[in-house]
Amino acid sequence: MLDRAKIIDEKFYQRVSEQQFPTALSGTTPTDADLSHDDLLALFDAQAKSRHCDLVARQLKEQELGFYTIGSSGHEGNAAIAKAFRADDMALLHYRSGAFVFQRAAAEPSIDMVHDQLLALTASSDDPIAGGRHKVFGSTQLSILPQTSTVASHLPKAVGLAISITRGKELGLQTALAPDSVVLCSFGDASLNHSTAQGAMNTVEWVSAARYPLPLVMICEDNGIGISMPTPHGWVAANVRHRQGIHYLCADGLNICDVYQKAREAEELARRKHQPVFLHMRCVRLLGHAGSDIESVYHSEEDIVAAEANDPLLHTARILVEQGIASTDEIILRYQNIKNEFEKKSAAAVARPKLTSAAAVAASIVPSKSERVLDLSPNGQQREAIFNNHQKQLTLPRNLSQQLNLALTDLMITNPEILVFGEDVGKKGGVYHVTADLQKRFGQRRVFDTIVDEQTILGTAIGMSLNGFLPIPEIQFLAYLHNAEDQLRGEAATQAFFSNGQFSNPMVIRIASLAYQKGFGGHFHNDNSIAVLRDLPGVIVACPSNGEDGAKMLRECVRLAYEENRIVIFLEPIALYMTKDLHIPGDSLWLSSYSASDMCIPFGELGIHGDSDELAIITYGNGYYLSRQAAKIIEKTHQRRVKVIDLRWLAPLNKAAIIDAIQTCQHVLIVDEGRQTGSLSEELVTLIVETMASPPAIKRLCGRDCFIPLGQAWQHVLPSRDDIVTAVKQQLNIS
């Protein structure tokens, strides 16, 4: 099939010179679209820059100097979309929106987007957005949020970002985006079929049905194929045009006048009427999916040539000639000058530095700290008004659920940026009443229910945080997180990494978690595995075991998000929410009075009960509760002391503190309610063995590699108090 990139380039010169232009598919003219001669020339330049970026990417790849060849050829009509919107309208772009980026960059003289894109293609550490970590479209100055999404997984956060614009106005807060901003989100026709995209579209419909303002423009760049899988003719329109509350607009992506006209209509609907728009831009795909894609395997040469004959640059050249704006020679000269610019600057780009160490690569995993300071002051008139005559009750012993409720209340009193949301968190107060009365105290704009869709919950949180809010979303059960874990893995956790720390989405995700619910619910309500959370770079995982720790750790989690831009997962052991007693009924030893609201447990600090050089139990959550019971039995029955260590912070582990805590111990028992395979216990064993010159004798007591059953059979697959006692006796050789 020869070199299609070279053929397309050569054909452009030939066809423009001979005025062999493709026939217009739509009749929209520059006059209809209110585009001036200068506008059209600028749009052509943006399109040509995008094209030459694709061509040079393939040349660099052939020379083993470049590393990315997914291009925008055929999609260059999106330059007109960029022109129709303001430069401060946040754009979340997929990988074929190159012309959009070049057009928006043209308005900012300080940005040399040709140079910047070449740095990205060659994975240079000088790349101003990703620092050599990936080829993404992104810029803080141009309000382009870098994406690595391939299946429209950025749509949920685009929806959340659009919701946050209205929410900021309602609450009278100064947010990152202007109050009259619009959010743009582009994706391909194949990605529309993904559950993430469909879930986001459903959320948009739901929000529209609730008559809530949503200044969002979803841009589907429809080239009719997903890698090699054709999109059925008319599929996108049939799927979307009749959706409730969404304005459907269709544009001829080969005609920049038509795209601009439709984009301006979309801008009016979104900005002035605050209504969501689906802008369907029909286009073609040139040069296959990527440089490694052998398109001839699934497309005939006739089909490929036909698509190339509909090159959007040729359509724009036709308009320029027909309108008397530029001669064929002038068009070729502009095109050639841009080609020369790319060739000249690519030679310089390949010589720029690259990432040369693991430390350099990982430097942006943890985002830069913010300039914000969390207010933890416990006083104030609002607090007195909220608690009114209940001040004395605050000193009464409280369980974990109540402590968390009070901590959330105090945090929300002094920090208006905090929003709490999730399934049933409003009027119901959450399944376990952790958010009881919060909506009464702070109103529906700050404490609100979401639809039953975890992708939407986490996507909304990401979007809200990007606009300056501090979201505290709730996932109702740990197992429900798996429906949306890519919103954490692929979107939230990567934001700082792929933007070199320039963008971050801080939040605290509360999850009702873990097992030991005494027969209730089965595995969906008793998920004892946290493996999916522990390997997310930069994400903090916290797990309190009691009420006092819960309140103090929650404050620290919110501080980490608010001041250090961190993503924090806060696992709340369901079985301990209402627990009162520790050893015998009525002892109330698992209750505690609510501590002053400015007290925190610092990130990484362990909880240690007892002292022993003989044996230490390392554990967390329910395991800490059970280990405390077991330690009491061992001490009372066998007069042997046991040190019980509550990890509290499960990722990343405070390795130095753990080693220090067991330094003098002869034996270590790890009690991990997670399944044996893939559990935290594996990391702990590795840590001890690799770190200590003379490690203690180590034993693990974990959950079985099994799901949690309904009914009382749960007792056979989870560690119990008696199991811990038996394990300790075996280690200490107690008969």
**Other C-beta atoms lying within 10 Å of the C-beta of residue 279:** 27
The fold of 607-731 is Rossmann fold (3.40.50)
Inter-residue contact 177 to 90 (CB < 8 Å): yes
Report which DSSP code applies to 491.
I
**Burial state string for 496-505 with b = 16 or more CB within 10 A and e = fewer than 16:** bbbbbbbbbb
Contacts of 283 (CB under 8 A, 6+ apart): 74, 75, 77, 221, 222, 223, 253, 254, 312
Which pLDDT score is estimated for 347? 92
Residue 564 confidence (pLDDT) above 70: yes
Averaged pLDDT of the chain: 95
Look at residue 292 in the predicted model and tell me its pLDDT.
Answer: 86
Q: Is the pLDDT of residue 287 over 90?
A: yes
List, for residues 24-58, the tens digit of each pLDDT value. Answer: 999 999 999 999 999 999 999 999 999 999 999 99
Flag whether pLDDT at 150 surpasses 80: no
Q: Using 50, 70 and 90 to split pLDDT, how confident is the model at 380?
A: confident
| Beta-carbon count within 10 A of 274 CB | 18
Per-residue pLDDT at 385 exceeds 90:
no
The ranges assigned to domains in the chain are: 29-227+235-287+311-349, 381-576, 607-731
Query: Residue holding tokens 């979803």?
Result: 218
pLDDT tier at 275, thresholds 50, 70, 90? very high
69-94 per-position pLDDT tens digit: 999 999 999 999 999 999 999 999 99
Question: With bands split at pLDDT 50, 70 and 90, how would you rate the model's confidence at 596?
Answer: confident
The pLDDT assigned to 256 comes to 98
> What residue type is assigned to position 279 of the chain?
L
Q: Are residues 422 and 474 in contact, defined by beta-carbon separation less than 8 angstroms? A: yes
Stretch 351-377: mean pLDDT, rounded?
94
So what's the pLDDT on residue 391?
72
Torsion of CA 656, 658, 659, 665, to 10 degrees: 160
Res. 392: pLDDT tops 80: no
Q: What percent of the chain has pLDDT over 90?
A: 90
Q: Which of 175-184, 308-317, 477-486 has the lowest mean pLDDT?
A: 477-486
Sign of the Cα pseudo-torsion (539, 545, 551, 552, in order): negative
Q: If pLDDT is split at 50, 70 and 90, which confidence band does 526 have?
A: confident
The stretch 325-354 carries a mean pLDDT of 97
- Same fold across 29-227+235-287+311-349 and 381-576: yes
Amino acid at 334: R
**CATH architecture of the domain covering 381-576:** 3-Layer(aba) Sandwich (3.40)
User: What is the DSSP secondary-structure string of 153-179?
Assistant: TTHHHHHHHHHHHHHHHHHT---SS-T
Q: Residues 290, 109: contact at Cβ < 8 Å?
A: no
Render pLDDT for 470-505 as a digit per residue (tens, 0 to 9). 999 999 999 999 989 999 999 999 999 999 999 999
Secondary structure class of 268 (helix, strand, coil):
helix
Query: How do residues 654-671 score in pLDDT, each as one tens digit?
Result: 999 999 999 999 999 999
Closest by CA to 280, choosing from 194, 217, 219, 202, is 219
DSSP type of residue 707:
P
Please list the residues that pair with 278 across neighbouring strands: 218, 248
List of E strands, 477-549: 507-513, 540-542
Per-residue tokens: 66: 């470049």
> With contact defined as beta carbons under 8 Å apart, do 194 and 201 qualify?
no
Predicted pLDDT at 535: 92
Instruction: Categorize the per-residue pLDDT at 9 as very low, low, confident or very high, splitting at 50, 70 and 90.
Output: very high
- 600 pLDDT exceeds 60? yes
CA 221-223-224 angle, to 5 degrees, is 125
- How many whole angstroms separate alpha carbon 42 and alpha carbon 531? 51
Residue 645 pairs in a beta bridge with 608, 618
Give just the sign of the alpha carbon dihedral 327, 328, 331, 337: negative
Taking the C-alpha atoms of residue 549 and residue 563, their distance in angstroms, rounded to an integer, is 21
Average the pLDDT over each of 573-577, 585-589, 705-709 and give the range with the smallest value.
705-709
Three-state DSSP class for residue 73: coil
Class for the domain spanning 29-227+235-287+311-349:
alpha beta
pLDDT of 614 reads 96
Query: Could you give the CA distance from residue 728 to residue 84 in angstroms, rounded to a whole number?
Result: 70
Cα(249)–Cα(26) distance, integer angstroms: 14
Between the CA of residue 567 and those of 279, 461, 504, 508, what are the distances in Å?
Answer: 33, 11, 9, 6
- What's residue 467's pLDDT? 97
DSSP for residue 593 = P
Question: What is the pTM for the complete model shown?
Answer: 0.95
Is a pLDDT exceeding 60 seen at residue 1?
no
Assign residue 209 a region (left: φ > 0; alpha: ψ between -120 and 50; beta: otherwise): alpha
CA distance 422 to 436: 13
The answer to whether residues 489 and 444 touch, using CB atoms and an 8 Å cutoff, is no
Average pLDDT over every residue of 200-210: 96
User: Per residue in 695-726, pLDDT tens?
Assistant: 999 999 999 999 988 888 888 999 999 999 99
Question: How far is Cα 8 from Cα 304, in angstroms, rounded to an integer?
Answer: 11
Confidence of residue 149 (pLDDT cuts 50, 70, 90): low
- The SS3 assignment for 294 reads coil
Q: Does the pLDDT of residue 315 top 60, yes or no?
A: yes
**CB contact at 8 A, 603 and 528:** no
- List % helix, strand, coil for the chain (3-state, nearest 5): 45, 15, 40
Q: 713 Cβ partners below 8 Å, 6+ apart?
A: none
- Using left for φ > 0, alpha for ψ between -120 and 50, and beta otherwise, residue 66 falls in beta
Q: Single out the residue of 216, 211, 179, 183 nearest to residue 201, CA to CA.
A: 216
Instruction: Please compute the mean of the pLDDT values over residues 96-116 and round it to a whole number.
Output: 96
For residues 451-466, b (16+ Cβ closer than 10 Å) or e, as one string?
A: eebbbbbbbbbbbbbb
Confidence (pLDDT) at 520: 79
pLDDT at position 735, please?
82
Q: Determine how β-strand 540-542 pairs with β-strand 649-651.
A: antiparallel
- Longest Cα–Cα distance of the chain, Å, equals 100
Quickly tell me which residue has 């030939």 as its tokens. 14
Tell me, what DSSP letter sits at residue 367? P
Burial class (CB in 10 A: 0-12, 13-18, 19+), 425: buried
**H runs (alpha helix) in 610-720:** 621-638, 655-662, 680-691
